[in-house]
Structure 1
């Protein structure tokens, strides 16, 4: 009996699938000589996608199709399974209950365990559904086979779903790529139109200046000729000549200060908002002539801040620094200056953050944007650069973008979604601190605060269009 069992175990190894570790079901043999269940090999190749290798030796067959069923191996499998059942029946008599030393003849359907007759009569199993082992075993095999069929069906459905997902992924990726292509094309067209508009405005401005120069040259020639006229003739023409001269001079002065172009860029502020940072003002760095609010979000010019009415351009400016320093990454913040006719914003790239005084140290690395109110309008100026442009109206909200690694500081008109000025490149070597100044205030006027906008106070992309 022992020898027969050993021989049967050897045969069982020969008819066992290397994938599911069970008896072959519709066995197939591939080129390398290894055999598997047809369903197991199909599943393995499905999961392995383009590999199509042997699950056991990993050799890739020449023909990538499932071979026909190995009928000889299928017959052998059936014979061995029948012998195994016979041996199992003969061995079942040898299985005994550990408690009563009796043969395990019954199967408890409730507990799903085999018991002897005496166990079945105990209080533990007395009320349970019991079946003879010979009847219960085939039912269990049938249930397991049904489960296997269901699992195989689920695998096939999952395989179909996976294929659908792959097709959908490709379609989705192409769709997203197409939308980005449209967006890129749209932005390129917007860029072209914006640049073309600026070129045309610049050309028109240059043409006006050139025409003005021609008029001035003609006027100079007339003045030169008038200087050689007799006294009476000169005095008769002097009124007209002086009037033309004054007009030409005023127009030349106006042309010498260009007007700032506005170029709204769709999505610009939305993109910058990805880098919004929450900053506050440091009251310990504030000049005595400015007052910082309790929430550290606003600063206002104090009543003691007096401006020289005769020479306002020589008036001192007073500042406050932010509490935060930046030495890496990208940051963006917005400042509400709608209640101020004049203001200064920027950054300090020096270690002298804690210096308290009337002015930012001119020897420090400061980069500032200043709004100045004059009789003929508002002007935006920069330090240390030479920007001095008129603007059509006050800028109520200014955005500041800092990119430390590239050495870039850019100022934006938030409501117009338009850039104002860029400092680039700057070699930053120290932490960067935002700087604020709510003035200098205009003489005889009351001004409001300069306020850091909350991080969540975003403007819509169309805000500039309705202003």
Structure 2
């Protein structure tokens, strides 16, 4: 296939935020697509707007673009096959392509090595499946971090609101006490330290 076409295809399957191939692609109302984790991280720092066109975005009910996700999966498999067919990823012993992932040793193996005495008892997965599992795990962890950050920001806003209420009530009490002290017999004045607002 023409390298320019492949490069253009890869560009269309890339997130405009991280510039890598999409992970869990979502499409905004404006039509621009981004990785869900990238969008959440971007919206941590700025209001919910499209990073591409700055149009309004919505933080809730973002749906995965299943067509784009399928295209990304096809492109990943093709790129992985091309990557693994290189000399570097050929088994030195059996001269076969490494197609299996050993979960115990966290290593790539050819089929013959995966059946060897050394690895036979270990869990093995096709490389594509192992990569998908890792991608999903990372995406879940990023989503959990984002939700935790949202909760922490909400709690911080609540604490600030409570703190401001207390400052208001302390100042109100101080002012009322000063006014009441002005009417005390003998003209006694009481001084109160100022509170920062």
Q: Does TM, normalized by the shorter one, top 0.5?
A: yes
1:176 maps to 167
Shift of 1:12: 2.0
Paired residues of 2:37 and 2:142 also in contact (CA < 8 A): no
In 1, the alpha carbon distance for the partners of 2:157 and 2:143 equals 21
Alignment of 1:225-374 (within 5 A): 265=190
Larger radius of gyration: 1
Q: Which runs of 5+ in 2 are unaligned?
A: none
Aligned partner (choices 15, 18, 23) of residue 17 of structure 1: 15
Q: Which runs of 5+ in 1 are unaligned?
A: 199-262, 272-467
The total of aligned residue pairs comes to 190
Aligned partner (choices 100, 109, 131) of residue 103 of structure 2: 109
Shift of 1:14: 0.7
Shift of 1:139: 3.4
- Report the CA distance shift for 1:129/1:187 in structure 2 as closer, same or farther (over 3 A): farther
Deviations 1:28-58 (A, max 9, x none): 1454x64324564355335424xx44324xx
Matched position secondary structure for 1:27: strand
Matched position secondary structure for 1:173: helix
- Report the CA distance shift for 1:118/1:83 in structure 2 as closer, same or farther (over 3 A): closer
* Structure number with higher helix proportion: 2
With structure 1 as the length reference, what TM-score do the two structures score? 0.33
Matched position secondary structure for 1:84: helix
With structure 2 as the length reference, what TM-score do the two structures score? 0.67
- Report the CA distance shift for 1:92/1:38 in structure 2 as closer, same or farther (over 3 A): closer
1:94 maps to 86
Matched position secondary structure for 2:126: helix
1:197 maps to 186
In 2, the alpha carbon distance for the partners of 1:128 and 1:185 equals 82
Deviations 1:46-89 (A, max 9, x none): 5424xx44324xx542x454698696xx4244134214314523
Matched position secondary structure for 1:126: coil
Paired residues of 1:109 and 1:130 also in contact (CA < 8 A): yes
2:158 maps to 167
Shift of 1:148: 1.3
Aligned-pair Cα RMSD in Å: 4.2
1:135 maps to 126
